[in-house]
Structure formats: C-alpha cells, structure tokens
Amino acid sequence: MTMKPSIPKGTRDFSPAEMAKRNYIFDTIREVFRLFGYNPIETPAMENLSTLMGKYGEEGDKLLFKILNSGDFLRGADMKLIEEGNCPKLAPQLCEKGLRYDLTVPFARYVVQHRAELQLPFKRFQIQPVWRADRPQKGRYREFYQCDADVVGSDSLLNEVELVQLIDEVFRRLKIRITLKLNNRKVLAGIAELIGAPDRLIDITVAIDKIDKVGIENVNAELLERGLSQEAVDKLQPILAIGGTLEERLSHLEDLLAESETGSLGVRELREVTEGANRLGLDAELDLDVSLARGLNYYTGTIIEVKAKDVAIGSITGGGRYDNLTGVFGMSGLSGVGISFGADRIYDVLNTLDLYPDDTRTATQVMFVNFGAAEAAASLKMIKELRAAGIACEIYPDAAKMKKQMAYANATAVPFVAMVGETEMAEGKMALKNMATGEQVTVTPAEAAAMIR
Amino acid sequence: MTMKPSIPKGTRDFSPAEMAKRNYIFDTIREVFRLFGYNPIETPAMENLSTLMGKYGEEGDKLLFKILNSGDFLRGADMKLIEEGNCPKLAPQLCEKGLRYDLTVPFARYVVQHRAELQLPFKRFQIQPVWRADRPQKGRYREFYQCDADVVGSDSLLNEVELVQLIDEVFRRLKIRITLKLNNRKVLAGIAELIGAPDRLIDITVAIDKIDKVGIENVNAELLERGLSQEAVDKLQPILAIGGTLEERLSHLEDLLAESETGSLGVRELREVTEGANRLGLDAELDLDVSLARGLNYYTGTIIEVKAKDVAIGSITGGGRYDNLTGVFGMSGLSGVGISFGADRIYDVLNTLDLYPDDTRTATQVMFVNFGAAEAAASLKMIKELRAAGIACEIYPDAAKMKKQMAYANATAVPFVAMVGETEMAEGKMALKNMATGEQVTVTPAEAAAMIR
C-alpha cells in the first residue's frame, strides 16, 4: 500500500490562494526597492560550505543544511571520526556544499567575487528563500523567504535616511501601522564606556537586547551574572530609563554620553538619520531604543528594527550598518548598510488583520461553459480576443453537465461565466454572467472585454 | 591569506543586467500562463527522498542532491555498508531529504497530498529552480529554472489545443520563431504493432528518438542491436520516411496504421489537436514527427517538443499527456497534460539573437547629483514626488566630485541625471539631463515626471 505523500517538516506548499497573497507582499516590496534605485541579483541556493561555515556562530554551523557529495562521498572521510561517531567533524568531510542560510553572507561573497564588475556604491536587492535546520514551530520554518536591500561602498548617512523612507513606504503600501526603532552601535559602545566597562560591550548588548522580553530586573541579574559590577549596573539604569519625546530622549542621551567621543558620535548619527527621515514625512512612528542590539555582532553604526503596532509578533523588518562585512572574504574597508523584510511574519500580520486588497486572488476572470465541439471552437475564438485584451480566460475542457461546470466556476471563484450556445454562436456573441450580481447580458467579445476591465 | 570566494560548479550568480533579461522571460511566460487560466503554486526545495527516489530511473537517483540529516546522522547507518564503501546504499541512510529534481514529481505529490482541497480539473503553473548533480557543461547547469504548466483531471484534447496555443503565444511575445513538433504515444504503439514488435515499444522509441542526432542508419543499427528483426526494421522505414505537408503526412500515417486500433486513435488525436490549434491561427509551424518520443516513458498520448528555427540548441520546450502521473503516490485514474519551458535555453536563444526589448534593463531612471547637505535635502523632496509618480530614482549618497558621480551615472546607464544646485533649490526645480541626447532642461518635479514617463 502506498502511504499518502508528505513534505519535510518545517517546509510548506503554497496553494494558488496563498501564492496570490504572498505575491502581493513580494510585489509591493519589489516595487518599492525598484523605486529607491535597488537592483535585483540572485545567488545559488547552494554555496560552498567554506563560504557559510563560521559566519553564523557555532549554533549557526549546526543549523546549516549540508549536501552530501555525489558519488563516492566516503573517499575523503576519516574512518576514526566515523568510529567515534563524531558527526560535527565528519559532516564537512562528506559535504562540500550547503544551503544558503541567509542572504547577507552570499551577498558579501558576491561583492568580493564580482568586485571587478561592480560599480560602487552598489545597491542591490535580493528576494530568495533561505534554509535553516531549526526546530520548526509556529511562525518558524526551515524554508522561508528573505527580502533584503543593501548598499555597499558608501559611508553616507543619506543611505540610512533613504532606507528608513523605504521601510515607511513598504508598510504604508501594505497598510500595516509600524513603530520603527532606531539605535546605534556607537551609542552602545558609549554606554559601555560610561559605566566603566568598555570591554564588556558584547555582554551588555546581549543582556539589554532582551529587556522587552524579560524586563529590567532580569536584565540586571544577567549583567551581574556576566560579571559586571553592581556599580556599573547602577550607572546603566538612568540610560535604560530615558523617556519623553524622540527629541527629548536624544538630548538626554547626548548629555549622558557627552564624555564619550564614540557615544557622542553615535547620538549625532541618530539625530541626522531621524531628522533626515522625519523632514520628508513618515507614516511610521520613529522611536529611539537604546536597548536595541539585534543580537548580531556585526553592526557597527545604525541599528533598525520594525514592529507592527497592531499585532504582537516580534520584529518584522530589521537591519543596520556594518563596516566590514566583506572582510571575512579578504576585502576590507567596504562599508554597507541594509535591511531585511521578514516576508513570513508580514504574511502573518496581513492575515491576522485581513489587509489584502479585494482583488488579491487574480486568477481566471472568465470561465466559458463547454456545450460541445462546435460551441467550444466558437468559444476559443472569443477567448483568443479576450486574452489579447489582457483578460485571463479558460474554457471548461469537457462538455460536462452544466451543474458540474458551474460547481467548478463557483469553487474557483471566477467573477464571470460566459456561455456560447447556438444562438450566441450565430450572432458572434456570448451570454456573460456576473457571478457576484447574477446579472446576465449578451455581448460581443469587445463589449465583454470593456465590461470586465 | 583568504582565498577569493567562489560558488559550486554548475551554479550561477545573476547580476542586475542578467536578472533584467531573465525576468523579461519569466514575466512573459507567467503572464501567458495567467491569461490561459493557470494558477501559481510553489513547493519546497527539499522533498522527502522517498518522494523522489525511483521516479527518474537509476541514473536519476544518482543525480539527486541529497541533504545530510541534522545532528547524529550516523545513528541509522549500517556500519557494514560504510566498511564496504557502498555509497549508493548508504546515502539514503544518512539522508532523508533531497533537492527537487524537476517540477513534475513534486506536482504529482502536491495533487495527491492536497486532493481534498483541489477543484478538478486543476490548472497550475510553477516557476522554480531544480537541482541535478549532472556533469556541468555549456548550457547544462546544476541549478536551473523550470517553468511548467499542467492540467490534471481532464481527458479532453481541448487542453492540448490550448497548450499549443499557449506555447505559440509565449514565443510570439518573445519574438522567437519556432517549430512545434507533435507526436502521440499511441501512434508509436501502433507502429510497434505494425512491425510485429508490440512488446518492444520502449526499445523502438529509445532508438528512433535519436534520429535527428545520429541519422537513420545508426538508428537502424541500434534497433537490430536491441534485438529487433531485420524484417521489423525494414517495415519501419516507410513510416520514418513519411513526407509532405502536415495534412498529407497525417493521411499517409492514417493509412499505414489503419490495421492498428491504438495507432488509428493516435492519428485521430493528432488530427484533432493540430486542426484545433491551426483553426485559431498560429505563428508557429506545426510539424508531425513520428520519431519524437522525448526519452521519457510516462507520456501516454500527445507528445510536444519545440525547437527554435534560428538557433541550433535542442528542445526549448516540451511536454505531453500522461495518464497515470499520480499513480506512484496511490492515486490512479487521474489524467494530466502539461508543458515545461526551458528558461535557460530560451535565455541563450534570446542572447544569441539579441531579441530583448530596449527597456529590458529597468533600473534607476533618474540619478540626482549630490552637491552637499542642503541640496541633498531639497533633492530628496523632489525624489519623493518622482517616486510617488512611479519613477525609480536615487541620489548619489556622498557629495563626491562631479566627475566621480557622473562616472557612476554612466556605468549604471541611468537615462536621466538631475542636478539641484542653489539656483534650482530657490526655484523648486531641477536641471534634468537626458543622458542619451545630452539635452538639458530646468523643470519642476511634476514636469520631470511627465517627461520621463
């Protein structure tokens, strides 16, 4: 007996209805990327494992999907490792390639590999799936899409201003109300200096990044656990408690960090980005969040995170500036800044709020009923005319019972049904029924095209 | 020292210029799929190996990219196989998943898995990459895109007529002149009957499929080698030599196969499809080719293959009818017919003939020169207006030397450059330079938008 087939856990099939919704999101993001002067690239699903390993930390290495070498994959394998059952060390001997884990490392690899052909600054976008061998759970998949835009080869904060505008425009079009949180790695460094622990920046950011999730008490406990002094933790409190308007908080932070050159520079950068973006007008609410570090350690300047106001779902977009992304591939001194839209979370937000336009399901617009060979032939001629006018049509392929054909029309939610019987054939017309209103008219293909459009 | 990074052999990066060309192809195919009432689906890159294995023959199993299980992948492995170095048998013990090899098997799996939600007939299209561990060579990649359209759940030949029309429309839009070859598996069965070797259908089709490549003498030699009698081979000759117009060849074939019920049915089907398609008008040349078998053994009726007239590159599209695609997954009696566009070969044809529209490179339309902070701020306001009008703009992010900025504009082939200096700022205007003609005018953003559009 054959088992009902399935797909690997953490992966998904997308039906036509789901595809229509997802394409609405991708098309919106893609169009805004284009308007902002970003150009598409694509990289292979498989990268050399040497490109991927060591770029996402030890945990990340474990989450890489590795591809078994073809043919005699045991050739290069160390039998001792097999006997010991040392899978982590054995895997790279059996596998030369792995699946893309994100779009950032492949982009860095792309820039270095193609540097001779690239015109800097290089603005690229990339919308492709990535794969992670994570434990699947609600909202977390093993295959999911990322939508990234980055510019490399320019230090200008104008890039940040533009990216904030870009994010605002995407969510304005998607009708999702957002809070756009900003921080700056230099501010975090300034804070570390201020509390007398300049070498503990990583410990501090890892701990305070969790403030929204676990609260200030737990953050303080973790800081002490990580070896910070009580005095340092005490000094940190007024900074984490800064309140007021964006301008008030920037001024307050400026005063608190006046002693730190790096910290002051960070505040100036934040001010330039927020003022530049606000000057042009934003739908999004801009927010300064000094606890924002986004876990990642490669950001060196601006840090960006977006949350939906009306759905509790975590970050739906994030990004920042990195000053040495391509350094691991032997090309240093190239500064970049970029953002990544989380398509799957945005999909969940749109589903929760039901924010899709009414015409999102853009399938067939007219289904022709099939009354037999002669009528079908006449229908096909009219269909050809309608298609030339850009209208998606189909004819029911079999001369089945009317009831069956109409059941198909209803199930596929076709907005119009056309019937070409003997009378209509003689007149070169069709009976066109609007499935929503029930209204029916007898029209020529040209008239039908005008009505449907 | 860091090595210059690379990508796995047989895979490719696509630059913005290449993406523009490829998207032109995909968008054209996607739009025609839509006009013909096909709906998009997507399936995961990874399928369970049990879904893929045994579906592409022994050779195909070897060409599957297999994904090493996460964690302790040695757990289920038979140590004896390791000691023997029996990689083919060991691989499925180390790997549960593999990369999609084509779009047909995942589609069959999709139909069976989701049968409860599907409305039959189900018309779907799918444009996604597939992966094969083939030896890379010119025009053959390890990662490449397929563009498939299939309808399942209908026996009607109207589907074939529509698919021929669809193929014709795609290549008409792409401006590629084609020959569309048709055959029918039942005709091949009739031929096998006629020459007294009805049980040797596979041997016959495998051999005669190569007639274009190796010539009739070599085909005959292979047939004898495969154990067919000289008498059978002699009987085959007049069939392979059929000439004349399409109608003449159909009539000739009808006479030759009159004794075979299956063969006669095949000819009637061919006639219905060719007449139906021709009645609506075709740009493509329709051709009957009794040597056409397309290697694959799952076609049961119509067989379709498309060749470009002006470039020698093999088949650029193919397809046919299969009566039991879902049978391997336990769901029998479902007939389907489909076609697959070979995007990479079509890309090569378009490149060879240089058939891309002039505006294929749809990147930034206007680059604003950056003269400093105040001018940049004024420029950004105008840019916002232009973008709202659908025009892709960017500002050079740094106030670099004019020469450098213009070099960037030239290298990225921006059609317009806008300059907002002090005078223009005061007037709320920009100096807009047409880079092709050198013409320069001073205009408001609204006037600029009208000019550029």
Compute the nearest-CA separation of A201 from chain B (Å): 28
CA–CA separation, A226 and A230 (whole Å): 11
Predicted confidence at residue B1, as pLDDT, reads 44
Rounded Cα gap, residues B36 and A363, in angstroms: 10
In chain A, which residue's Cα lies nearest the Cα of B15? A41
Six-digit token pair at B386?
């232009």
User: What is residue B4's predicted lDDT score, i.e. its pLDDT?
Assistant: 82
Partners of residue A39 in chain B, C-beta under 8 Å? 16, 19, 363-364
What's residue B86's pLDDT? 93
Give contacts of B159 with chain A, Cβ < 8 Å.
397
Residue of B nearest to A20 (CA): B40
Q: Report whether A182 contacts A284 (CB < 8 A).
A: no
A387 vs B contacts (CB less than 8 Å)? 35-36, 169
Q: Return all residues near A128 (Cβ < 8 A) that are at least 6 apart.
A: A42, A43, A45, A100, A103, A145, A146
Distance of alpha carbon B294 from alpha carbon A18, whole angstroms: 34
- Alpha helices (runs of H) in A97-197, residue ranges in sequence order: 104-113, 158-174, 185-194
Q: For residues A84 and B85, is the Cβ–Cβ distance under 8 A?
A: no
* Tokens at B414, concatenated: 């921006």
Among residues A142, A153, A131, the alpha carbon closest in space to that of A44 is found at: A131
Q: Which chain B residue has its CA at the smallest distance from A95's CA?
A: B68
Structure tokens belonging to residue B382: 């105008």
Q: How far apart are CA B443 and CA A10, in angstroms?
A: 54
Interstrand relation of B393-395 and B430-434 (parallel, antiparallel or unpaired): unpaired
| DSSP-assigned states of every residue in B137-171 | BTTB-SEEEEEEEEEES---THHHHHHHHHHHHHH
Give the model confidence (pLDDT) of B192-236 as tens digits: 999 888 888 888 888 888 888 899 999 999 999 999 999 999 999
What residue in A sits closest to B391 (Cα-Cα)? Answer: A35
Tell me if B356 sits within 8 A of B21, measured CB to CB: yes
**Predicted pLDDT of residue A2:** 56
Which of the pair, A386 or B54, is modelled with greater confidence?
A386
In angstroms, the Cα distances linking B409 to A107, A158, B369, B380, B444 are 23, 18, 9, 17, 21
How many residues in chain A? 453
CA distance from start to end of chain B: 50
Q: How far is A185 from chain B (nearest CA, A)?
A: 21
| pLDDT for A296 | 58
What share of chain A in percent tops pLDDT 70?
A: 98
Residues of B in contact with A275 (CB under 8 A): none
Q: What percent of chain A has pLDDT over 90?
A: 83
Taking alpha carbons only, the member of B174, B148, B178 closest to residue B351 is B174
| Whether A6 contacts A13, CB under 8 Å | no
Q: Do B392 and A159 touch (CB under 8 A)?
A: no
- Check B5 against A394: CB less than 8 A apart: no
SS3 B127: strand
DSSP A5: P
Q: Find the CB nearest A46 among B11, B387, B412.
A: B11
Contact at CB, A94 and B68, closer than 8 angstroms: yes
| Secondary structure E strands in A110-244 | 122-131, 143-152, 178-184
Cβ–Cβ gap A397/B121 under 8 Å: yes
Q: Is the Cα dihedral B104, B107, B111, B113 positive or negative?
A: positive
Closest CA relative to residue B267, chosen from B251, B279, B281: B251
Residue B447, token pair as written in the block: 């006037």
Please give the sequence-ordered ranges of beta strands (E in DSSP) within A343-448, or none if there are none. 366-368, 393-395, 416-419, 430-434, 440-443
**Tens digits of per-residue pLDDT, A172-192?**
999 999 999 999 999 999 999
Q: Nearest CA of chain B to the CA of A88: how many Å?
A: 8
Q: Mapping DSSP to helix (H, G, I), strand (E, B) and coil, where does residue B177 land?
A: coil
pLDDT score of A59: 85
Q: Which of A38, A283, A162 lies closest to B381 in space, CA to CA? A: A162
Residue of A1, A4, A6, A7 best to disrupt the B interface, most CBs of B under 10 A: A7
In eight-state DSSP terms, residue B69 is: P
Q: Is the pLDDT of residue A106 over 70?
A: yes
Q: Which portions of chain B are predicted below pLDDT 70?
A: 1-3, 295-297, 362
Token look-up 């902070």 returns B373
Model confidence pLDDT, tens digit, residues A290-309: 989 875 567 899 999 999 99
Closest residue to B4, CB basis, from A99, A112, A397: A112
| Nearest-by-Cβ selection for A37 from B35, B94, B364 | B364
Nearest-by-Cβ selection for B156 from A280, A387, A398: A398
Mark yes or no for CB contact B42/A329 under 8 Å: no
Count of residues in chain B: 453
pLDDT at residue A129 tops 90: yes
Question: What does the block give as tokens for A240?
Answer: 């984490």
pLDDT at residue A272 tops 90: yes
CB contact under 8 A, A48 and B395: no
Contact B13 A44 (CB under 8 A): yes
Query: Which residues have CB under 8 Å from A1's CB, separation 6+?
Result: B330
CB pairs under 8 A between A and B: 296
Instruction: Tell how far CA B262 is from the center of its chain.
Output: 32
Q: A156 vs B8: CB contact, 8 Å cut-off?
A: no
pLDDT of residue B392: 96
Contacts of A393 in chain B (CB under 8 A): 35-37
The predicted pLDDT at position A1 comes to 44
